Structure 1
Amino acid sequence: MPDYARRYPSIADMKAKASKRIPDFAWQYLIGGIGPEDNVARNEADLRRTQLMPRYLSATGTPDIATRLFGQELSAPFGVAPMGLNGLIWPGAEPIIASAAKAHGIVYALSTHATRSIETMKPLAGAHGWFQLYPPNDPAMETDMISRARKAGYAVLVVTVDIPAVTRRDRDIRNGLSVPPQIGVKTVSDAALRPAWLLRLARFGIPHFENLEPYAPKGLSITGLGEFLGSVLSGHITLERLKRIRDQWPGKLVVKGVLDPEEASAYLGAGADGIIVSNHGGRQLDAAPTAAQQLPAIRAKLGPDALIMADGGIRSGLDIARMLALGADYVFLGRPFIYAASIGDAGPSHLISVLKEELSGTMAQIGCGKVADLNRFLHRP
């Protein structure tokens, strides 16, 4: 492995390098939110405001950061969040991220909007590979996608509920972002300034929505494909729709995009095995609360035994500890894994190692020996 430890000791360092390797049209999509983008900033700010109380009289030895989900042993309480368009932002990102997650024994969640297929990615992600479904409003398409995930061997289905309508994102409008990318003056000029990205594009090919294109009418233009996807992947996921998915899925089912405690309870009542508290990385509603804000109330509502996971704004092992202390059992990171992929093929593995070291160091500092005990160290001024 290159000297990543010295050159990229933190996610901030990886992000700085990524900004110089990813073309601007893709970079703007990766870092952006919606509207004024206040929510993206609040995701990180709310976590940074979360304080942990060290207890120096503790006799705790080396912290144990391993955890269990759905009966499986995981090496750490964090995993890779489902992300779309990875193959456009950094060509070939999905396989190297999934392979790193598999090697480290953490969860990798594949997005419906991935540029690699359900079937291709499962062997790379291994036993801890999950599939994230944006439920289509076409029942036949929904049934087929669920069947594909089951046949591919995924044990956990993540149903995302927080994209009921097509969003209007200012950055994407300005950049004309699409998949496949539209070839224009800006696209060409942005790409020309990033030769490493161009070389990878030549190696891995033009990215496509491999999971969704089989269902689209043949011969659609780029614009037409975008309109088709927007039309079938819209609408609120009612409890009736969720129960229909539950009836079709034999494995574990997780609902992602939950912010309201009452709805969290309703999802579990409808058959979900767990939830992911999330505001979609601040990309859907700029006025939405953050996971860090909502976790304590959701944990209080659901009780100690409910499986509650979370994402949003995590940029260090310390942030992982903060989110766990607030009430999560497991957490996910998205953007940092793309930053890491862009620094080199070993980047995602390096990122996981950094996060493990930071989390273990944080727990040792506060005197916490087990992940499950982190909530006892939350400081409530």
Structure 2
Amino acid sequence: MSKVASIFDLECLARERLPGVVFDYIHGGSEQQLTVQRNLDDMRALALRQHSLRDVSHRDTRVTMAGDPARIPLALGPTGLAGLTWANGECEAARAAVDFGVPFCLSTCSINSIEDVAEAINQPFWFQLYLMKDHKVNASLMRRAHDASCSALVLTIDLHTQGKRWADEKHGLAVPPRLTPANIMQMVGHPRWLANMAGSKRHTFGNFEHEIKEAGSIGSLSKWIEEQFDPAFDVNTARRVRATWQRKLILKGVMNPDDARTAIDIGADAIIVSNHGGRQLDGAPSSISVLPEIVDAVGDRIEVLFDGGIRTGGDIVKAIGLGAHACLSGRAWLYGLAARGCKGVTCALTLLEQELQDCMLLTGLDNLQRIEPGVVTAQPPLGRR
């Protein structure tokens, strides 16, 4: 078995193991993928200033995220169709998160259902909600999340329409993938993936199987979901969710200080600064570039979480150093799941924790909640000033 030294190694293993149609879905973004690249480039452009003459023999990485404990300041963010990369993928990832000690968030557009995950881990988890035009479906999903003891509802606010993902349209991505000649050739060429997927409990969007009549037809169900994203979603919509959901409410997709202040006004418990991993508005700024102004706008009145471009433990330090309370990651753990299932997710978390510890040692940090100004900074200009 190949030695894995970084998230990038897991990415390579995922690329090898998955058919192109599936890998391109989890790896890519919308249109020209400008925002996907900005998330990575802008994170890498930040510098970490060292403080060496400090005792960092005792370091604390623990934190609470929306009231739930986390061994490191990271949660597994919601990713659609994780169960297309590994049989029962959402359940496998949730088990890894629980065993490691970090929160897990299930996507509305998952393969495993809310109930599947609740049965698999028997512990509270977060549920990410895409609001549909069909209000009965929304009410049912929230009720099911409540009955499954979900501790937080993560309301995505940036999906008034689905971003155009050119690779998915080219491949004809569906759930399961459409049997075009090209896709059949890709699947046949990945026998390990095919054999693994044969053991999957479900082969469609698990959360919708018993919600709508279209669920019996894969094509009709996919079309129904795409047509259900609501351009009328506004602050009053979010207020109605707040009035219905009595546990922790997190708004995901905040990229503007005004939306962050509005989240406070409606009584949200936390926000996630996120551009949807570059999968919605192509050309949007990176999440890390807008994080400081959002933190400045809300201060300590609401918990600010960060999502967008986390690939190393040092990236977590950078986000917290710019004001985030903690982070979420999607692709990092998804690469691990696609490569090695539950063990791959654990591997991804272990790598990020080890890198986080190393970064703290080398920057003179013993507590991530006390990062001094200037530790995370722009790269200094070359030459004398």
Short-chain TM bin: over 0.9
Structure 1 unmatched ranges of 5 or more: none
Pick aligned residue for 1:86 from 82, 98, 103: 82
Q: 1:117, 1:210 within 8 Å by CA — same for their partners in 2?
A: yes
Give RMSD over aligned pairs. 1.7
For residues 219 and 100 of structure 1, do their structure 2 counterparts lie closer, same or farther at Cα, with a shift above 3 Å needed?
closer
The 5 Å alignment of 1:292-371 reads: 292-345=288-341, 346-371=343-368
The 5 Å alignment of 1:215-254 reads: 215-218=211-214, 221-254=217-250
CA distance, structure 1, for counterparts of residue 215 and residue 322 of structure 2? 49
Amino acid at match of 1:139: H
Pick aligned residue for 1:288 from 281, 284, 287: 284
Question: Equivalent residue for 2:371?
Answer: 374
2:112 aligned with 1:116, yes or no? yes
The offset of 1:313, in angstroms, is 1.0
2:15 aligned with 1:19, yes or no? yes
For residues 64 and 126 of structure 1, do their structure 2 counterparts lie closer, same or farther at Cα, with a shift above 3 Å needed?
farther
Q: Deviation string for 1:50-108 (max 9, x for gaps)?
A: 11211112233232111122443321101111000111133332122110100011010
The count of aligned residue pairs is 377
Q: Deviation string for 1:319-341 (max 9, x for gaps)?
A: 11111111111111111212112
The offset of 1:206, in angstroms, is 5.5
SS at match of 1:150: helix
Q: Deviation string for 1:287-343 (max 9, x for gaps)?
A: 111110011000000013420001111111111111111111111111121211233
2:175 aligned with 1:179, yes or no? yes
For residues 58 and 256 of structure 1, do their structure 2 counterparts lie closer, same or farther at Cα, with a shift above 3 Å needed?
same
CA distance, structure 2, for counterparts of residue 135 and residue 328 of structure 1? 26
CA distance, structure 2, for counterparts of residue 202 and residue 292 of structure 1? 39
For residues 89 and 198 of structure 1, do their structure 2 counterparts lie closer, same or farther at Cα, with a shift above 3 Å needed?
same
Amino acid at match of 2:344: G
CA distance, structure 2, for counterparts of residue 173 and residue 272 of structure 1? 35
The offset of 1:251, in angstroms, is 0.2
Pick aligned residue for 1:62 from 58, 63, 70: 58
For residues 226 and 72 of structure 1, do their structure 2 counterparts lie closer, same or farther at Cα, with a shift above 3 Å needed?
closer
Q: Deviation string for 1:213-256 (max 9, x for gaps)?
A: 32222476433222211222332431111111111111000000
User: Once the two structures are aligned, what percentage of the paired residues are identical?
Assistant: 31
CA distance, structure 2, for counterparts of residue 69 and residue 314 of structure 1? 17
Q: 2:204, 2:218 within 8 Å by CA — same for their partners in 1?
A: no
CA distance, structure 2, for counterparts of residue 310 and residue 125 of structure 1? 25
CA distance, structure 1, for counterparts of residue 235 and residue 165 of structure 2? 28
SS at match of 1:215: coil
SS at match of 1:203: coil
2:197 aligned with 1:165, yes or no? no
The 5 Å alignment of 1:12-51 reads: 12-51=8-47
2:262 aligned with 1:270, yes or no? no
Question: Equivalent residue for 1:211?
Answer: 207
Amino acid at match of 2:345: P
